[in-house]
Amino acid sequence: MAQTLPGRRTLPGKRNLLAAALGVGQLLLAAPMLATLVAGGLVVGVMGLAAGASALALLPLVLVLAAGPLLGLGIAALVVRGQRFPRGAGFPVVSFGLLLGTAVEYFGWIRPALG
């Protein structure tokens, strides 16, 4: 049985375009911050390897840089699964988790370090 909203009929399998647009918008907001995290991590990693550090010594840096976005994704995925959101509404929630985790790490740690 298809889930319907009051006053609106929906067809089974029809996508919610507003929810998809919201999710894509959140991904576009997170993209510049993620690009800065990735580029900064690559620069620090290459410079560390050029200075003679082992790849194992750079593992904590990779874990710290990936912690914010992955934690945001994980918490949002748990919320979506626990609350049993409809498929169309789950994408914006997961996108918001990625955006929130990335923003917390970017504005709390990366941006102040850049000056």
Q: Are 92 and 23 in contact (CB under 8 A)?
A: yes
Q: What is the mean pLDDT of residues 9-13?
A: 55
pLDDT tens track for 45-84: 899 889 998 888 888 888 888 899 999 999 999 999 898 8
- Average pLDDT (2-18) is 62
Whole-model pTM? 0.76
Alpha-carbon torsion angle 9, 12, 14, 20, nearest 10 = 100
Could you tell me which residues are beta bridge partners of residue 8?
5
